[in-house]
Structures are given as structure tokens and as C-alpha cells.
Amino acid sequence: MKNTPFTAIHEALGAKIVPFAGYNMPVEYSGIRDEHITVRSAVGVFDVSHMGEIWVKGPDALLFLQKVTSNDVSKLEIGKAQYSCFPNGKGGIVDDLVVYHYEHQKYMLVVNASNVEKDWNWLVENNTEGAELENASDNIAQLAIQGPKALETLQKLTFTHLASVPYYGFVQGILGGVENVIISNTGYTGAGGFEIYFYKEHAEKIWHALFEAGAEFGIKPIGLGARDTLRLEMGYCLYGNDIDDTTSPIEAGLGWITKFVPGKAFIDRSVLEKQKAEGVSRKLKGFIMIDRGIPRHGYPILDADGNRIGEVTSGTQSPLLNVGIGMGYVATGYDAVGTEIFIEIRGKAIKAQISALPFIKK
Amino acid sequence: MNIPQELRYTKDHEWIRVDSEIAYVGITEFAQGELGEIVFIEVETVGETLAEADVFGTVEAVKTVSDMYMPVAGKVLALNPNLFEKPELVNQDPYGDGWIIKVEIENLADVAGLLTADEYAALIG
């Protein structure tokens, strides 16, 4: 099991540590609910150093990325980031990722920790364009500073004017006395805030600077448990739960990052374009429990007659709404908002309803 | 870790408080800590007579769900009425206000076969 540059800090803070994607990761500190509310109302810090970073460089980088990712990288300006996925050649998804256009002919791909090796092999295998690839995952630390007080916290530590960094934009600057920090207006919580990337030797310095700067706002460390409840309230997909090698981006509601623009000959384009035109037989939808119960990954989704019409991919009790929420694939026809469905929880059909995403409004 | 001497325990982290044939059952401080914040207690066996190690209910935390097992054979008399509105009592006071069910024990002698506080302490290390 690997450690992140912050593992010793998490242990000292009394975090509950669990093995996740090959790393010892903090799952909770003060409690999932408290951490969740902290991020929604103030500011919290997530160690997400387990995430993978892969550089793609050179004159062929763009052509290569246009082939292996579903979104339109030609539209991605320097200083901007883009959510995307790697189609797997069989209509499924290798991974979802964020593409950063770092500088001319240089991109950083941020991928899921559990998929770094799989993604790397996939990219190498498909790199007939001859783009220059570098796996920097073990050298780069990442923190997510999320919540309505994230900007004020970070602004104390840098001269870069953060309010002028647009959503899904990023800058590189000095933060807390550390040079070359990528400060990105992105996140996985819907609470606003930034994700920062830096070389791991600066980890402790940055952590302590953040907690000093955020003290007046009640800044807290946040574990993977609240990361999951926060992303689920927003309806964001989690690879391995909601999307995987067997789900298509069209089924998963990721048509908005699947761009059938002229000249973009990406992997699986024809099969996905056909799905978009002809429709798919199942769709990933959010639902909210009407009767009491908490949906969990793998629970069957039923119609009123008890026929199986799908399966839950993610679920939890929403700490904000105090009700069970989830996502799952349902057969087309049951996917309209407001449709009554049932979740089979320990042998009983519990009433739920297809809901618009996100579950909470900003 | 709080493991009261006067209670008996199971390897599945339930405790039982036996005063007479009427006993109280809950989950241990260790168990609630492992589960994290408890948001839902479901017991649908009230009125039923269950065997030792039968599932009498489930406890849902934010991240996970876990079954709860009868420490000894007996009849489930009641679910703690306060847990419907305040399941977090199980976190806050697992051996007191956070008790889960009241049971009528079939055979008091069965209790002697359960773990003592010291044995349970050794189990969870």
C-alpha cells in the first residue's frame, strides 16, 4: 500500500485510514456528516494526491488526444481544463478524466487513481501518433480546497487574483511560498473552490499554510467518505460505480462531453454516434427515495409490478436533504423525471422517484 | 475503548444487558465507531421469536449497511422508539440511550456462553 505525501498528517489528525486504489487514504476525520456540511457551508481540504497525472506533449499531442478522448480538445484553450473520457473501443469507458491545456503542445491528464496503470497502458498502446507521454503520478501532490470560503482562504496565500480564474480555468503561480503551483477552478463537490497541484516535497508546507489561512473560516480536513456524499448530491459520476468498461458515455448522460465534430476521429465515434442518433436502451439517472431507505450500489431497481428495470450504481443518505439519494441505470421509458420506481432493499420494494440532477441547488 | 464489565458480547459486536429474562441488546462502541454516523436503524422482527445468531435488524451508516444478530435465542419485544428520530443515539451512547432492542430471553443459561468484557476486549485487540 502506498502513502500520499500527507499520510503522516492524516494519521496525526486521527483520521480513519482505509486502503483505496492502492493508497492508504483518509475516509473520515470528524465524521462524514460534519465534513460534508463543512464543505457546503465553509471550506474543507481533501488530499487527492492518489489521483494520476499524465503529461502528453509534442506536436502530435493534440491529434493523439483528439483520438483517445471523447471531448473536443481543439476547442480547449491554454489555461483551461475540460472534463472528458477515454472510450474503450468496445463502446465502454476506460476512465473519465480532466484534460488541462497547460501550454502550447503540452497537456496534463488527471485520471482516477485506481486506473493509472490501465490508462497508461491504454495510452501507450494507442499512441500511433507519437505523442510524448510521461506518467508523473508519483511526483505530483494534489489537494482540493472546496467550499464557499475556499477562494478567500487561498487568496491569502497568493498574489494571483483568483476571482478572475474562470470555472474550469487554471493558473500557475506561487502559493504559500511554493512556486509552480497549478491552481485550478475545478472540483468534485459542487461547493465551489479550487484544486491545486504541486511537487510532493512541498506537501507539508502547503498543508500547514492552508490550515493557517483557513482557520478563521473553520477549515477542516475532509475524507473520502464526504467526497462521495458531496459528489453524489451533485450527480457526478464515479468511475467503477456509475461508469466503467461496460457503460457507454451516451448511456451515462455524458453526451455533453462526447463531441461528434467534423475531423475528430475518436475511438468508438461511430458506435457512439449511432447510439446518440438511435437512442440507447438504458440511461443513468438520479433518483430520490420517497419512502424510507438508503439505496446502495448493486441494489435492483424495479417497476411497480416488481419487474427488474435496472440497478443502483451509487447511493447514500444525503447529509443535506436527509433522504436517500442515488443513481442507477434504468430502462429507457422509466427515465423521465418524476417517474415512480422502486428500489429493492433487503428483499423489499421501497418507493423512489427519478429526479433531476443535481439533487441540490447551488 | 469503553467495554462495560456488566455486559456480555458477541463476536459480531452486539452487547446484551441481562437483568432478568428481559434484556436489552445494542451494538458496541467499537462497532458504532467502525460504522461511522448511523442514519437508520431497521428492525422488523418485533414480536418474532428468533434463534441465536439470527438477523434481527440492520444498521445503516452513511457509507455502509450491516446486519445485527441475536446474541441468544429469544423474542424481540420492542425496538428503541427513540431511534426512529435519533438514530445517532447509537453513536452517542451505544450502551445506554442507544440500545436497539428489548428481548425476552428463551433460556437464561445461554447468556453464559457469550463473551465477557475481557474476552471481547481481546477480540477487538
Kindly report the nearest CA distance between residue B67 and chain A, in angstroms: 10
Q: Which of residues 276-335 of A touch B (CB under 8 A)?
A: 292-294, 296, 316-317, 319
pLDDT score of A81: 98
Domain for residue B96, yes or no?
A: yes
CB pair distance less than 8 Å for B62 and A225: yes
Domain for residue B64, yes or no?
A: yes
A79: DSSP letter: T
For range B5-31, the mean pLDDT? 95
Give A77: exposed, middle or buried? Use CB within 10 Å, 0-12, 13-18, 19+.
Answer: exposed
CB pair distance less than 8 Å for B39 and A294: yes
B68: domain CATH number is: 2.40.50.100
Per-residue pLDDT of chain A (362 residues; tens, 9 = 90+): 999 999 999 999 999 999 999 999 999 999 999 999 999 999 999 999 999 999 999 999 999 999 999 999 999 999 999 999 999 999 999 999 999 999 999 999 999 999 999 999 999 999 999 999 999 999 999 999 999 999 999 999 999 999 999 999 999 999 999 999 999 999 999 999 999 999 999 999 999 999 999 999 999 999 999 999 999 999 999 999 999 999 999 999 999 999 999 999 999 999 999 999 999 999 999 999 999 999 999 999 999 999 999 999 999 999 999 999 999 999 999 999 999 999 999 899 999 999 999 999 86
ipTM given for this complex: 0.75
When scoring A25, A346, A348 by the number of chain B Cβ atoms within 10 A, the one with the most, hence best to mutate, is A346
Domain for residue B48, yes or no?
A: yes
Q: What strands lie across the sheet with B55-61, from one edge to the other?
A: B38-42, B55-61, B65-69
* B39 contacts in chain A (CB < 8 Å): 294, 317
pLDDT in tens, B34-89: 999 999 999 999 999 999 999 999 999 988 899 999 999 999 999 999 999 999 99
How many domains would you assign to chain B? Answer: 1
Question: Please, what are the domains in chain A?
Answer: 7-48+139-233 (3.30.1360.120), 52-132 (3.30.70.1400), 281-362 (2.40.30.110)
pLDDT score of B1: 87
**Closest among B13, B18, B15 to B4, alpha carbons compared:** B15
Domain for residue B84, yes or no?
A: yes
Q: Is some CB atom of chain B closer than 8 A to the CB atom of A32?
A: yes
- For A9, other C-beta atoms within 10 Å of its C-beta total 18
| Domain residue limits at B75 | 8-119
pLDDT in tens, B89-107: 999 999 999 999 999 999 9
* B58 contacts in chain A (CB < 8 Å): 346
Q: Of B39, B42, B58, which has the smallest distance from its Cβ to A317's Cβ? A: B39
pLDDT score of A362: 62
Q: How far is CA A209 from CA A38, A122, A175, in A?
A: 19, 38, 9
CB pair distance less than 8 Å for B63 and A316: yes
